[in-house]
Amino acid sequence: MRVRQLTTAAAALLLAAGLGGCSDGPAPARTPDPAPASADPTAGTGDVRPADRTAVRGGGRLRWAVDGVPATLNVYQGEATADSALLAHALYPSLFRPDGHGRLVADPDYLTGAESTPPGKQPQVVTYRLNPHAVWSDGTPLTAADLISQRAALSGLDPAYRGGRPAGYDAIDSIAQGADQHEVRVTFRRPYAEWRSLFGPLYPAAETATPAAFNRALTGGDHLSAGPYTVSGYDAEGGRVALARNPRWWGDPPKTDRIDFLATPPEGRLDALDQDRLDIAPLTAAVDRAVPAPASATPTDPATPTDPATPTDPATPSASATPTAPATPTAAAAPPAAAPEAAALALRRAEALPGVIVHRAVGAWLTQLTLNAAHGPLADPALRLALSRAVDRRRIADAALTPLGLPGATLGSHLLAGDQDGYRDNSAVVGPADAARLFDEAGWTRPDTGGTRTKDDKELSLTLLVPAGSATAKRTADALTADLAESGVEVKAVTASADTFVQEQLAAGEYDLALFSWPAGASPASEQRPVYAKPRPDADGALDSGSNYARSGTEEIDRLFDRASAELDRAARLRLLQEADVRIWQLGHSVPLYQRPELAGVRAGVAGAGVWGYGWPRFQDVGWSG
């Protein structure tokens, strides 16, 4: 699961590298919200070479690129990064994990069953049956004590615990052992529909039982773990974390003896793959943020290095669920106008690397155009609706995705990805296809000779905030600018470096339009609510928009999210989410565009690796085939 801490530092800029993925863990014996019988749990978001365990040989080592050695492996701490979450999923339990369509299913390595009281019965009680073979690395079984301590640390009841406050823990009233040490009963003070998102990752009680234990950095190999791997080396200065097989692991034996996670900046990953120094490397930022080749290089030669020093990935939401807190990047150095050409060369080079397969897929991230309702003419909801209808989402998705070899699929929901269970395109609710009529009705008319629309002698000219140095953002902004110009709207792109985009631009609100992405989590009612929550006055009377950078919202939308979060009936919960999405469209809050693309380079012969959509690797299956 992704832990999502929605603060101003947590906005996901276009093409930030992050965890995503599809998993193939089987469903539990008992679940209250079963997936449709015909659903294929391996289909959906992601591009991973399937790991047939019988064809994967045992032994060997894998070299895996990460941005840096994490300052902590506790994904709920503020210092956590996306790399913290990646390693945590190899080391710690997650009671549930997303399948290929974003549905959370029990992981049988940790659960033999889990069920909630039926809808309408109060109080809600969730009964977990822990796998009796599941033990921490010192041989101690997983018990209710681990869940009790984690709930205390994350509930917000004790401010001495520093870190994130993932949704749901504050809804728990009590946790107790059930009929035996393997049964845990969690009683909620109010219904919480997305309870499967809790306790993933789960840390041992020793790491969460007191504020002092929870607040310290979780690094090195002297801490308990309960995954297929344990830490055998933690070298922050040398840029390497080594994982070895867990001798106490009770599940399918890990295929690989050792995994070395190597700190490798995105700009160096193509070289490292080419020189056989990496086996698995996320390449999204390496391609998207590539800078022009030096003048002495041959630009048409795909083998020519085209990825000298470039900035690291833009900021993403804090680690989870989303799980997953990437580090704040440095300022972008590449001129945005040069990025598309450099990115095309970098992609060609990646595709030409001998012995390397480029995996690509649209990820579980929703790229949207945000309309700032507290700035300039967009304070008028009628104008926001006209602009929403004027955006040609197909044209923009084609511009963003097809250069990467992906179909230009549009997105029609603010809350769910296109292959996510329950997805529906609600864009038609913004009004008739005739955007010109909507503009006219809003009072923004166009001269018979064409040109920019005006109202009260003022031209309709809007700023568009775009992350600097991103080729995909540049292509999107160019297509959007041309698209809206055809409707008589002048758009002026303003770029901002990754280290200022959120704090100094989005949070300040000095823009009309903005391009960035949010993660599509498996728990949309709780995870997405802060993005669309109605801004409230703070203690000083100033409007506090929180994570709602569009600064528009309604009491009705808030209530729909709250009802969905408490609705235990899956079908009814999806209906409430669809109704909330319709209201968000009608508010003119933002325009969903497409799912953010993700790329990874994987050495030929490595199975079980690639681009993960909603989840994370099944580490015990990743290895060398043949």
Contact 329, 466 (CB under 8 A): no
Q: What is the dihedral of CA 106, 111, 113, 114, to 10 degrees?
A: -70
pLDDT in tens, 199-234: 999 999 999 999 999 999 999 889 999 999 999 999
**Residue 27: what pLDDT?**
28
**Residue 450: what pLDDT?**
85
> What are the distances in angstroms from CA 161 to CA 74, 120, 209, 452, 489?
13, 34, 10, 54, 49
pLDDT in tens, 84-103: 999 999 999 999 999 988 89
Output the CATH code of domain 365-596: 3.10.105.10
Q: At residue 329, does pLDDT exceed 60?
A: no
What is residue 196's three-state secondary structure? Answer: helix
Q: Where are the domains of the chain?
A: 365-596
Contact 12, 549 (CB under 8 A): no
pLDDT in tens, 143-202: 999 999 999 999 999 999 998 888 899 999 999 999 999 999 999 999 999 999 999 999
542-575 as b/e: b if 16+ CB within 10 A: eeebbbbbbbbbbeebbebbbbbbbbbebeebbe
* Phi, psi (deg, nearest 5) at residue 504: -100, -15
How much is the average pLDDT of 252-275?
A: 97
> What are the distances in angstroms from CA 44 to CA 100, 296, 367, 408?
5, 43, 18, 16
Give the lowest-confidence range in 35-39, 257-261, 337-341: 35-39
Q: Is the dihedral of CA 293, 295, 300, 303 positive or negative?
A: negative
How much is the average pLDDT of 37-53?
A: 55
**Mean pLDDT value across the chain:** 86
Closest CA to 225 of 252, 243, 211: 243
pLDDT in tens, 273-309: 999 999 999 999 999 999 886 654 443 333 333 332 2
Tokens of 456: 């009260």
**Residue 313: what pLDDT?**
34
**Residue 51: what pLDDT?**
63
**Residue 538: what pLDDT?**
82
190-203 as b/e: b if 16+ CB within 10 A: ebbbbbbbbbbbbb
